[in-house]
Amino acid sequence: MTPVPDDGASDSTWGPELDELRSREALAENMGGDEKVQRQHDRGKLDVRQRIDALLDDGSFHEIGKIAGTPTYDDEGNLTDLRASNFVFGRGRIDDRTVVVAADDFTVRGGAADASIITKQIAAEQMAFELRLPLVRLIDGTGGGGSVKTLDTDPKKQAETTSAGYGRGARTYVPANPGWEHVVANLATVPVVALCLGPVAGLGAARAVSSHYSVMVRGLSQLFVAGPPVVNRLGLEEVDKESLGGSRIHTRNGAVDDEVGSEEEAFEHARRFLSYLPSSVHGLPERGPVTDDPQRTDDSLLDVVPRDRRQVYRMRDIVGSVFDLGSFFEIGARFGRSAITGLARLDGWPVAVLAGDPYHYGGGWTADASQKVTRFIDLAETFHLPVVHLVDNPGFVIGTEAERAATIRHGSRALAAVYQATVPWCSILVRKAFGVAGAAHSPAHRFQYRYAWPSGDWGSLPVEGGVEAAYRSDLEQSDDPGALLAEITERLNRVRSPFRTAEAFLVEEIIDPRQTRPLLCEFANLAAPLRTTGPSGFGYRP
What is residue 26's predicted lDDT score, i.e. its pLDDT? 92
What is residue 542's predicted lDDT score, i.e. its pLDDT? 73
Sheet strands (E) in 95-220: 97-104, 135-141, 192-201, 213-217
> Which residue ranges of the chain lie beneath pLDDT 70?
1-8, 111-116, 143-171, 460-466, 541
Task: State the CB neighbour count (10 A cutoff) for residue 314.
Answer: 12
Q: Quick one: CATH architecture of 11-275?
A: Alpha-Beta Complex (3.90)
What is residue 65's predicted lDDT score, i.e. its pLDDT? 93
What is residue 464's predicted lDDT score, i.e. its pLDDT? 63
* Residue 209 and residue 187 in contact, taking contact as beta carbons nearer than 8 Å: no
Mean pLDDT of the chain: 90
First and final C-alpha spacing in the chain = 34
As a whole number of angstroms, the distance between CA 376 and CA 343 comes to: 10
Q: Residue by residue, what is the 3-state secondary structure of 291-328?
A: CCCCCCCCHHHHCCCCCCCCCCCCHHHHHHHHCCCCCC
- Residues sharing a CB contact under 8 Å with residue 426, sequence separation 6 or more, in sequence order: 386, 387, 388, 389, 449, 450, 451, 520, 523, 527
User: The pTM is what?
Assistant: 0.90
As a whole number of angstroms, the distance between CA 383 and CA 113 comes to: 33
As a whole number of angstroms, the distance between CA 287 and CA 521 comes to: 12
The β-bridge relationship of strands 135-141 and 192-201 is parallel
Selection from 114, 132, 173, 139 nearest residue 48 by Cα:
139
As a whole number of angstroms, the distance between CA 295 and CA 288 comes to: 17
As a whole number of angstroms, the distance between CA 287 and CA 279 comes to: 13
491: amino acid identity, one letter: R
* 263-275 vs 48-55: helix crossing angle, rounded to 10: 40
* Residue 228 and residue 240 in contact, taking contact as beta carbons nearer than 8 Å: yes
Q: Where are the domains of the chain?
A: 11-275, 299-530
What is residue 331's predicted lDDT score, i.e. its pLDDT? 98
What is residue 116's predicted lDDT score, i.e. its pLDDT? 62
- Residues sharing a CB contact under 8 Å with residue 501, sequence separation 6 or more, in sequence order: 452, 456, 458, 507
Selection from 192, 283, 124 nearest residue 540 by Cα:
192
Whether the domain at 11-275 and the domain at 299-530 fall into the same CATH topology: yes
What is residue 418's predicted lDDT score, i.e. its pLDDT? 96
Selection from 259, 152, 148 nearest residue 213 by Cα:
259
Map residue 437 onto helix, strand or coil. Answer: helix
As a whole number of angstroms, the distance between CA 48 and CA 26 comes to: 15
CA torsion angle 88 90 92 98 (round to 10): 140
What is residue 145's predicted lDDT score, i.e. its pLDDT? 53
What is residue 161's predicted lDDT score, i.e. its pLDDT? 52
CA distances from 464 to 165, 287, 433, 482, 489 (A): 63, 44, 14, 13, 8
As a whole number of angstroms, the distance between CA 51 and CA 86 comes to: 14
- Residues sharing a CB contact under 8 Å with residue 110, sequence separation 6 or more, in sequence order: 141, 142
As a whole number of angstroms, the distance between CA 332 and CA 341 comes to: 7
Q: Which helix (H) or strand (E) covers residue 491, if one does?
A: helix 481-493
As a whole number of angstroms, the distance between CA 51 and CA 221 comes to: 15
pLDDT in tens, 143-173: 555 555 555 555 555 555 544 444 455 667 7
Query: Of 1.10.260.40, 3.90.226.10, 3.40.50.300, 1.10.10.10, which CATH number belongs to 299-530?
Result: 3.90.226.10
